[in-house]
Structure 1
Amino acid sequence: MTNGNPHQRELPLGAIRPRGWLRDQLQLQADGQTGRLEEIWPDVGPDSAWLGGDGESWERGPYYLDGLVPLAYTLGAAELQAKAQKWIESMLGGQRADGQFGPAHDLDWWPRMVALKVLTQYADATGDERVPPFLRRYFEHQRAALPDRPLSSWGQARGADNVLSIMWLYDRTGEDWLLDLARLILRQTHDWATFLTERLPAGVTPEFSHLTHGPNVAMGLKNPAAAYLVDGDPGHAGTFARMWDHLDELHGQVHGVFSGDEWLGGRDPHHGVETCQVVELMFTLEQLARIFGDGRHGDLLEQVAFNLLAASNDPRMLAHQYHQQANQVLVSFGQRDWSFSGPDANVFGHEPHFGCCTANLHQGWPKLVRSLWMRAGEDVFNAVAYAPCQVDAGPARLDVVTDYPFDETVRIEVSAPEPAEFAVGLRIPAWCEAATLVVAGEDVAVVPDERGYVTVRRVWRDGDVIELTLPMRLRTVPRDRGAIGFRFGPLVMAHGVPEIWRSVPGHRGLAEWEITPRTAWNFGAWLEDPDGVDSWRVERRPVSPVPFAADAAPLVIHGKGAMIRDWRLVNDSAGLVPDSPASTGMPVLPMPLLPYGSARLRVAELPTVKVAGAHM
C-alpha cells in the first residue's frame, strides 16, 4: 500500500476512451447538439469573429470549442477534429505582434481565458509544438497590459481559469515570471474565499452581482486550487471545504448542488440550476481532484455528472434546458419564481433564455471522460471517478468494465505485454459501506487512506483482474421542514412522474419540447413499513443505447407514497414542500423512484406522509 502524491496530472487527451453506456452518451452528443451546432447556429458559423468574420466575437466560439475539442479527441472522431481544426488555425495564425489574439474589436480578457483552455487541450491531444510559444507570447502581453488594464466584469470573477493555463505552460518551461503573472491575476480576481465564507447572503438574490451569479460561483470555487498551484500552501484545500459547506448550508438543494436561476436562489427545490453552472462546476471539481488529490472531489463530481448533467439535456441530446429544477413537475413556457429568467428558460430547446448554455454545454461529458483517471508521480494511476472506459496507463492498458453508477461492481482488466510494476489507486466513495476488493483472485483489505483511496502496488501481468464492489443501498437525505431526498450510491433518486412530450411548433435548432405530467405528481413518501425503505424493491435493467431515457431507466426502486391533495402548482412549479409528516386520507400507492438524470419530470425533495388507515 502507498498513499501516493496528492497532486495529480491529467493523462493526455485521448488516452482515456469511453466504453459501454458512456460511449453511447458521447456518441449521442456528437450526433446531436455538438456535432451539428455549426449547421444550426450562426453564432458558431463561418461568420464568427473567431474565424475572421464579422459575427459573434465574445465567448460563444471559445465555449463551443471547449467542448468540441475534447469530444473530438476522446471519441477519435476525424470529422469533429476537422471541425475544430479550422478554429485552432484561426487562433494560432491570427496572433498579433504584441502577443494578443482573437477578435481585434473585442479585447475582453474573459473569452480568451476559454480560448487558452481550448489550446492547451488541443496541444495535449496532438503535441502541436506551436502552442507553447503562442501561449508564452500571449502571457507576455498580459504581463505588460494587466497593470494598466486589469481584469474586470466576467474576467474578474473567473481569473482562476487564466491561472490554470499559465500553470500549464509553467509546468513545461519552469519560467518564474509565469508565477509572477499568475499571482497578479489572482490578486485581480474576486476574493471568492472571503465572500463565500463570510459574506454570502441567504435566500433568493434580488439583483445581479458577479459574486452571486451561479456559473461565476461554480468557477470561483476553483480559486483555492489555482492558488495552491502557485504557492503550494496546503491550507487552500481547507478553504475550499469551508466555501463549499457554507454554500451548501445556505443554497444547497436535495441533489447536492447549490441553486442558481440565474443568481443564487436559496434551498427550496423549485429554484433552478443553470446548465452552464453544471458544466463549470464539473470542471472545477475535476481540477480540484487533480490538484488536491482528495476523493471527496470525485464523489461530488460523480454526483453532478450522473444526475444534473444527465438531466440538463433530453435523452438524445438534441436540446437542453437553461434551468432545471429538483422538483420539476412541468416543463413549459412560463414566468417562474426564479431570481432571473425568461419564459422559455425551462423548456428543452436550442437556445432557451440565452445562448451561453447553447455554447457551453458541450464540455461536460468529454471532460468527465478525461478526468476518470489521473496520474500521481510516475507510476500511480488513480481512479477519480468510475464509468466504463479504456485507459492507456503507460506500461499497461486498463479496461474498466462496468455499468456503474447503475450497478455496484467495477471490474478492471489489465492488459500488459510484459510484467510491469505500478500502482492503482481506487477511490472508495464516502457513501459506501463494506466495499470489497479482489485483485488477481486474492482478497485485499479495503482501508481507505486520508484521501479516500486504497492503493495497490504490484507487478501486474497480462490478464490480471481487479474487482471492486461498492454496495449500494437506498438512503434518505434530510431536508428542510422534515422533507427527505433519496440517494442510491452516487445517484439521486426521484419520484419519476410519467411524461407527455409536446413538440413546439416552428422551433429552431434540432428540437424543442414542453413536457406535461401524465399522472399526479404530488405524492409524499410513506415510510411506515416495518423495515422502512430497506423493504423497497430494487430493479436493475440493462442499460439502453440511450442511457438516460425515462422509459428505459436502468434502475427503478419501487417505493410507496400517497397523494397530498392540497400540494399544488404555484407559478408553474411545484409549490413549497408541505411540512412533514403531512396528513392525508389518500391510499398508499406505488411510487417508483428513477435516477434523477432519467426523469425530466420528477420530485426529488418529498414530504413524508401520515396516512389514516394506511393500506396498499
Structure 2
Amino acid sequence: MSVGGLLGRAIGANQRGRLSTFITGPESKPVAIFSENAVNRNFAGDWNGEHAGKWLYTAARAARRSGDQALLANVRRVADYLVSRQEPSGYLGTYAPTAESRITSPKIAGARTWDLWVHAYNIIGLLEVNRYFPEPRYVDAARRIGDLCFEVIVRRGVSTADMGNHLGLSGTVFLEPALDLYEATGDARFLELARKVVENMETRPALRIVARSLKGDDLQQIGDGKIYQLLWTYVGLAKMSAIENQPDYRAAAEHAWKETAQHHLTPDGGPWGGIAAHHEVFNPRNFWAPDGLVETCNTMSWIHLNRELLRLTGDAKYAEEIEKTAYNALIGAQDPNGEDWYYFSFSNGTRNNTYYWACCKSSGSLALEELAPLLFAARDNGVSVNVYSEGSATIATPAGDVKLIVKTAYPAAGDVRIAVSGPAGASVPLHLRIPAWAAGAAVSVNGARADGEPKPGEWFRLERAWKAGDEVRLTFPMKPRIERKSRIEKQGEQEIVRRDYMALLRGPLVYATGLIDGFKREETVRLPSGNPELLVAPARAPAGADGPALALKPIGRAPIVFVPFYEAGGRANAKWRATWIPVAWQ
C-alpha cells in the first residue's frame, strides 16, 4: 500500500521525523526509563512510559508499509530490549517495586498511577510488532502482561476503575488491549478480563459508562469528562460489541459518536473542550466557544472510534469523519518537520509546538500511521474506498486480489481517477463513498456514466469483472460553504448575550485566516444572511501556501484571504489562525 498527495507528505514527514529520531534504540530516553536503574528510582507515578508502546505500534506499521529496514532494525532493538526487561511476574512498567503506584501495590487504589495505562500501550505495541514481524517472544511478552493483569484484576479483584487517574478513566482504557490480547491469542481468560473491566466501570458510580450512555447523558458528566480516555474506552466498547454481539455496547459507542459530532467537534474534526475547566475535558453539550482546546490525543482517539464504528456498521459517515479529521485537525497539528506537534490546537488560536515528553507528539504520530490502512478496505465481498487520496493498494477479496491506483489532487480538487484491476472473470463490487457535501457528484466507468444516482453521504456501488485498463472517475463539485454558529448566554429564557460566527469550508477542507490585515486576531464582518457563499471567490494563495485559497468579500471592506486550516499561519510555530469569524448578518 502507498499513500501520496497531502496525506502521503504528512506520513512521510512523520516517518523521517518522529519515528526515525525520537526513539532509535534502548538508549533513547523513552526506552531507557525501563532500565533497572531508572525503574528502581521511579516513585513519581508518571505516564512517560506510554511512549515506548505507542512508538512500537506506529513504527512497526511504518516499517511494514514502507520497507524501511533501518526503522525495522530499531523496532526490533526496542522490542527485544523491552522483552528483556520484563520481570518474572510479567510486569513491564517503569515504577519501582515498592512504589504505591505499581499495579501490584495494595495501596494502588489511592495512588496517582498510570501503570495500567503504560502496560496497555506496551501490549498494543508488542502485538503490532508481532503482527507484521512475528516472533514468539513478542506475543509471549504481551501475554505475560495480560497474565499479570488477569491475576490482579480478576483473581485479586482490584478494580480497573481504581487503577487510573481521572476518576478511573485512565484504567478503563485497558478494555481495548485486553480484547486485542484475546484476538491475538484466542485465550478466553483475556475476554474474561475485558468483561471484568466493563463490570468495574459499571459499578463505579462516577463512571457507569454504558448505563449512562444508554440514558443519553452528556459526555461531560461521565467520569470527569476527560476526552482522550473516554473516547478510548468507547473504542473498546465498540470492539467488545463486535466480539460479544452485545447491542448495548454498540449503542453506547454510537451515543459517544453522536454526542461528540453534534456538540463537541470543531469544524476541522477535533474533539474540543477545556473552556473554564481542565484543558482536556469536554464542556457541557449546550456550551460553545470559538476558541475551545483540541488535544491531539483526542484527535487520535476520535479517529480510532470512527475506525471501529466503520468496521462495525459500515456506515459511510464514519469514513467521512476520518477524512475530515485527517485533512484538517490532524495534519493541522503537525509541524512540517515531522517531529514536532501541537499539544493543543484551536479553531481560533495560536500554533504551539509542545515539549519533549508530551503525549500528543506520539499520539499524532500514531494517528497518521493509522490512515494508510483506512483508505481502502475489504467490504461485502468487494472493496471500499473510504478516504480519498492519491495512493494505491491491493485488497484481498473472496474472488481474488483487487488492485487500485488512485490519481487525484484531492482534497484541493474534486476529480478522482481510480484504475481498477481484479481477478479474471470474477465480478467484484467496488463501494465508493460519496461525501456528504458533494451534491451533484458524478461517477463514470471507462468514460461512460455509471448507472444509478450518487447520493451524498452514502456508498455508491459498482460491480463488474474488473480488468487491466479499467478506470473509474469521480467528480465531486467543491462549492464553498459557510457554516454558522452562535455563542448565546441566557438568563432563564431571556437571551442576554449573542455573538454570531461563520466558518468557511470547501470540499473536505476547513479554511482559516491568519492575522487579519496583518495584526487583528478577529474582526466582525458584515455578510448577507441569504446566500453569503456568493461573496466567496478563488484567490491567489499567499507565498508558501499550497491552497487553494479563497477570498471572502464582506460588505464594505477589502477581501479577507483564507487558506486551508492546516496551513494557515504558514504552518509555523507561534502563528495565529482563525476559523470562526465574528459576523453581523445583514
Partners of 2:175 and 2:456 in 1: CA distance: 28
User: Does the 8 Å contact 2:439/2:456 carry over to 1?
Assistant: no
Question: What are structure 1's unaligned runs of at least 5 residues?
Answer: 1-15, 332-345, 499-516, 542-548, 563-586, 612-616
Q: TM-score, normalised on structure 2? A: 0.79
Partners of 2:246 and 2:23 in 1: CA distance: 44
Larger RCO, structures 1/2 (Cα 8 Å, 6+ apart): 1
User: Does the 8 Å contact 2:535/2:554 carry over to 1?
Assistant: no
User: Does the 8 Å contact 1:371/1:385 carry over to 2?
Assistant: yes
Judged with a 3 Å threshold, the aligned counterparts in structure 2 of structure 1 residues 185 and 550 are, in CA distance, closer, same or farther, namely farther
1:365 aligns with 2:368: yes
Partners of 1:554 and 1:240 in 2: CA distance: 36
The AA in structure 2 aligned to 1:556 is A
The AA in structure 1 aligned to 2:515 is V
79-88 or 141-150, larger mean C-alpha shift: 141-150
Counterpart in the other structure of 1:390:
392
Counterpart in the other structure of 1:579:
none
1:190-589 equivalent positions in 2, closer than 5 A: 190-195=207-212, 198-200=216-218, 211-234=224-247, 236-248=249-261, 250-260=263-273, 261-265=279-283, 266-328=287-349, 331=350, 347-351=352-356, 355-376=358-379, 379-394=381-396, 395-416=401-422, 418=424, 420-446=426-452, 452-480=458-486, 481-497=499-515, 518-528=518-528, 532-538=532-538, 551-561=544-554, 587-589=556-558
Counterpart in the other structure of 2:196:
184
Judged with a 3 Å threshold, the aligned counterparts in structure 2 of structure 1 residues 270 and 234 are, in CA distance, closer, same or farther, namely same
Counterpart in the other structure of 1:29:
14
Partners of 1:534 and 1:127 in 2: CA distance: 57
Partners of 2:529 and 2:260 in 1: CA distance: 35
1:47-126 equivalent positions in 2, closer than 5 A: 47-49=32-34, 54=39, 58-103=49-94, 105=96, 106-107=102-103, 108-126=115-133
Partners of 2:59 and 2:121 in 1: CA distance: 13
CA RMSD of aligned residues (A): 3.5
Partners of 2:446 and 2:250 in 1: CA distance: 35
Counterpart in the other structure of 2:568:
599
Partners of 2:412 and 2:347 in 1: CA distance: 20
User: Does the 8 Å contact 2:378/2:384 carry over to 1?
Assistant: yes
110-119 or 149-158, larger mean C-alpha shift: 149-158
Judged with a 3 Å threshold, the aligned counterparts in structure 2 of structure 1 residues 590 and 360 are, in CA distance, closer, same or farther, namely same
Partners of 1:372 and 1:447 in 2: CA distance: 23
Q: CA deviation at 1:556?
A: 1.0
User: Does the 8 Å contact 2:444/2:450 carry over to 1?
Assistant: yes
1:150 aligns with 2:155: no
Counterpart in the other structure of 2:584:
609
Percent identity, please: 20
Q: CA deviation at 1:590?
A: 0.9
Q: CA deviation at 1:348?
A: 2.0
User: Does the 8 Å contact 2:392/2:404 carry over to 1?
Assistant: yes
Question: What are structure 2's unaligned runs of at least 5 residues?
Answer: 97-101, 104-114, 202-206, 274-278, 487-498, 570-575
Q: TM-score, normalised on structure 1? A: 0.75
Q: CA deviation at 1:593?
A: 1.9
Q: CA deviation at 1:124?
A: 2.7
User: Does the 8 Å contact 2:14/2:338 carry over to 1?
Assistant: yes
More helix by share: 2
User: Does the 8 Å contact 1:478/1:484 carry over to 2?
Assistant: yes
Judged with a 3 Å threshold, the aligned counterparts in structure 2 of structure 1 residues 86 and 428 are, in CA distance, closer, same or farther, namely same
Encode CA deviations 1:463-507: one digit per residue, 9 max, x unaligned.
211212222222222211332222222211223437xxxxxxxxx
Partners of 1:26 and 1:76 in 2: CA distance: 14
33-42 or 227-236, larger mean C-alpha shift: 33-42
226-235 or 472-481, larger mean C-alpha shift: 226-235
Judged with a 3 Å threshold, the aligned counterparts in structure 2 of structure 1 residues 83 and 526 are, in CA distance, closer, same or farther, namely farther
Partners of 2:362 and 2:35 in 1: CA distance: 14
The AA in structure 1 aligned to 2:164 is S
